[in-house]
Structure 1
Amino acid sequence: MVGLVGDAAFELDADPGASYTPSLADFPRWREPHELLEQFSTTGRKFRPCDWYRIVDGLLGVDSEDFALQQRFKTLYAELLSPHPAPGEATKSLLCRIQVRDGLPVHLVSFTAPSEIAIIDLILALFPGRGYVEVKSAAAGWRSIGLAGKTSPLLTARGSEVLVDAREEWQPLIANCAVNWVMQMQPGLLFFHAAAVAIRGEGVLIVGDKGAGKSTLSLALAARGHDFFGDEIAAVRTEGFELAPFRRALSVRTGPQAPQVEEKLRSKCCAMETFPDGTVRLRATAKELFPGVGARPRPLRRVFFLRGFEQLPRYESFCPRLEDLRLLAPLACTYWGSSSAARVTQVAKLLSSVECYFLYPGQPEDTTNLIERIVRSE
């Protein structure tokens, strides 16, 4: 996921690098975070409408005085914008409020949710190996996180209040934390790094690593009028294993695309964007490219696991074994606050209820034809 700080792009899933453990002893302003917290009050609040996003069955409110982050959320999650929740609405919701005060070295991020969670533990669990480490000797009642290679903490938290270093790129971590928190609040759903479509009313997951072809194939299928649920995160209900839409903005890499997709991209004059990894991608929404394509709830029937590219596409059907559970690992937020054994059992039941295939993709058009033939003939 990608966001923007001023004129510079930032990646919501950015990897800070190698492990590093700073100490608060070197950073005087962090020694008494309660004094910094006192500088923020509702009396100085800049009133503005709060943006709400429906993430499947949950709501995320973004009330931000950091304008770039607010606008970037609108770009990434335009199709998820939702009306303000009505008083007494039963939908689980999280409100993320960001306060900025001129002259202060920190910003205040406050979370309001049905119940508090240990934010530091959540971050460390969601992003292991990304260089986020808990800082030693935090102030009493507070916990802090530092970034690899940095000379001061990135943030310090107490309960639902988080102070972030205004000089650092705190936005990627806070944005990811908020979105994952809302997903974590929905135990009736499994979230996967996958593309999801429906062909003739049958739900299909396309699973693979970055650059394996998930977006290319799911967009090619959407261009043919098939229901499109998303190309990055797939949501599956544990009751009946039904697909639910999670349509965030598309980021289309350079490279071969199905002819219909290329035509759509040319006709829409999509914005070009340079990502932190140096790749240049087109930014668009599914609604813009495929206005007639919906995302009606559909039962999941097939899962395609992408393998290496070949000159001509081919597939192998297989019956999942216990060791194959690793092929469809849910996102870390799915496990947070719930029984890992129960989640693994749910994934096992899911795989046992669908048809599974190893798919070796070729050219997008040929591979799309193959997927359609498989779904229609079996």
Structure 2
Amino acid sequence: MLSEKSAATIRATLPAVGAAIGEITTTFYDRLFTAHPALLRDLFNRGNQAAGEQQQALAASIAAFAGALLDHPHTRPDALLSRIAHKHASLGVTREQYAVVHTHLFAAIAEILGDAVTDEVAAAWDEVYWLMANALVAIEARLYAEAGTEPGATLRDHVVVARRAETADVTTFVVRPADGTPPAPFRPGQYVSVQVELPDGARQIRQYSLSGAPGDAPGTSAEGIRFTVKRVTGTPGATPDGEVSHHLHERVAEGDVLSVGAPFGDVALDDGDGPLLLASAGIGCTPMIAMLDHLAAAGSPRPVTVVHADRTPAAHAFRADLGRLVAALPAATAHVWYETPEGDWPADRTGRADLTGIPLEPGTTAYLCGPLPFLRHARTQLLERGVPAADIHYEVFGPDLWLGQD
């Protein structure tokens, strides 16, 4: 994929570029948003920009892609590309925007690295960029076609037909297309983009996991599509409050109209019959509930092991649903941990989730969702128990700061 000449240059310069990539991406975003302020207002997550998480995710993806080209020159890193492409499609990213990114990214590289960016170095990294960009454009074109939508036009008006409080900080919204057409098909584990207009006129977009099972029509829910939102509370002086989650909780009622995108996401329940592990922490339970709901509705005989960790029972969204759905499945068990339990709660289920003693059948496929520390801990324990890396799938809310791992 990468020419021999460029590969040698990338191998020689990757350490220097990697060491400066954080500064490069910060400069890139400054340049991009100065030239195109509408991108920050209406496309990029302003909260992630303020916290620096988007810069870290971009840096991780570029470095991971370049490293993959060097380590496996005859294999395209499709797992990495798929994760990014699904997120891009959910946001409505178009082919033309890759040229805009290229202009400002390479200006940032030249500014930060200075004379080290010779014509040969620039040409090699240009090759890396367009290999990645063109691969993403092709994957995204397929995703748009499968969703039956044009690039950049995935959002449709949906009416909020119900909202339900799951906990004090978690609310489920049920929406249906405003034009009366059926809800979009989806697979358990996928997410939708939701765009809201904030008081300052910005039209910010966030992704939320679908928390209901597909219903009677293939891939749809009878009542509509359900997505679940946790109110994000920031840390003073460090991270801001979640402006979209607060808007949805405080301002959106039944009968209101929201712009909702087509479902995307590469971490979706497989159609096999092998054993499953569904492990989550906090609001990471939402895609797992959709998977359980789907399995229960289908009367699946698959062995299913559910692991969930939360702060308290009161903070545990879908707690009652978890018990109901596990009871409805003939071969399902649940293991729950609370940091601060209430009443008579087992000591070995207090604190952080521990997968070392959980029974797992051979051939188990694992799905993980939750904060990054939980994902790292759970994945490490599964690998140590002999679960192949290829059989461990994860979803992380927010920018994926774990890109490129096996």
TM-score range, shorter chain: under 0.3
TM-score normalised by structure 2 residue count: 0.24
Higher strand proportion: 1
Higher helix proportion: 2
